[in-house]
Amino acid sequence: MENHDHQLRQSGAQVDRVLEQVVAVTYRCLLRELASGFAHELNQPLAAIAAYAEGAATLLRRDPTQAGKAVEIVEEITRQALRAGDAIQRVRGNVRPLPVNRAAAPCNEIIRDMLPLIEPLAQHHGIRLIVDLSSPLPQVQGDSLRLQGLLLFLFRNAVDAVSELPAGRRRVTIATTSDEACVELAVTDSGAGVPDEAAREMFRPFFTTKPEGTGLGLAVCRTIAVEHGGELRFSNLPEGGARFWARIPRIDAVQRNS
């Protein structure tokens, strides 16, 4: 028992290290998204402030009865508004995403490499783990570390989804498939599914329904998929549970279209 607990702790620590690495390389991408949204929201009102302030200063200059001090105040408003706009652009420019280390990546091998970490965690939580890998599976062009992180985040999400179920109903499936354009990596759980109100927000950074959650897992997964020219999708299943899957372009499909 002590040896099993030690192995489980080691597996959990390795999962945490991989996730930390993935968060490190995608954190700046998330910051860039936030900075872009921040800049979009503030640039327009700041531009309006600058325009109105400049217009007011022009009117005051034309009216000799107005005190010169008023002109100085309005001109200062203009300078400060433009200064704030420049600061936002500097923030936006400083959070450029780190490059993706693209190489031929076999998704099935990535999953098999992660199974020594995933299987003990599934066993510890009383989860029946099903691995259904399509073979042969075309390769994708991507960053294996980030794709490992995507898989681990989706698996962790599935574990949370089934953790409150009776032990015999806890089931998580990891599967791969492909079509003419993409390889799909999917994680399906037997939980309660995603409520409608959460479905609208769950890919947004920092949104979470968990008391101890960070709200970064699914946002990071989506960022990783988009970095690889793909997308992250989800659907609630008729029989219950949810399926999350990433679609990543196949290398041969990219070459045909280039």
Task: Report residue 187 as tokens.
Answer: 């994680």
Which CATH number does the domain housing residue 119 bear?
3.30.565.10
DSSP-derived 3-state class of residue 74: helix
Instruction: Note the pLDDT tens digit of each residue in 62-90.
Output: 776 766 666 776 777 777 777 777 767 76
CA distance 85 to 47: 8
Res 8 pLDDT > 60: no
Q: Are residues 128 and 237 in the same domain?
A: yes
3 in a structural domain: no
What does each C-alpha distance from 192 to 4, 160, 189, 231, 239 come to in angstroms? 30, 11, 9, 24, 9
Which CATH number does the domain housing residue 76 bear?
1.10.287.130
With pLDDT > 70 as the criterion, what percentage of the chain qualifies? 69
Contact criterion met (CB below 8 Å) for 122 and 76: no
User: Which of residues 208 and 197 earns the better pLDDT score?
Assistant: 197
Q: Are residues 146 and 244 in the same domain?
A: yes
Structural domain harbouring 228: 103-257
Q: How many CA atoms lie within 13 A of 92 on its CB side?
A: 16
Q: Are residues 141 and 54 in the same domain?
A: no
Give the Cα-Cα-Cα angle 88, 93, 99 (nearest 5 degrees). 145
pTM, 2 dp: 0.65
Instruction: Note the pLDDT tens digit of each residue in 41-66.
Output: 677 777 777 887 887 777 777 776 76
Instruction: Note the pLDDT tens digit of each residue in 233-244.
Output: 999 999 889 999
Q: Is the dihedral of CA 63, 68, 69, 72 positive or negative?
A: positive
Instruction: Note the pLDDT tens digit of each residue in 88-135.
Output: 776 666 555 556 677 888 999 999 988 988 888 898 889 999 999 999
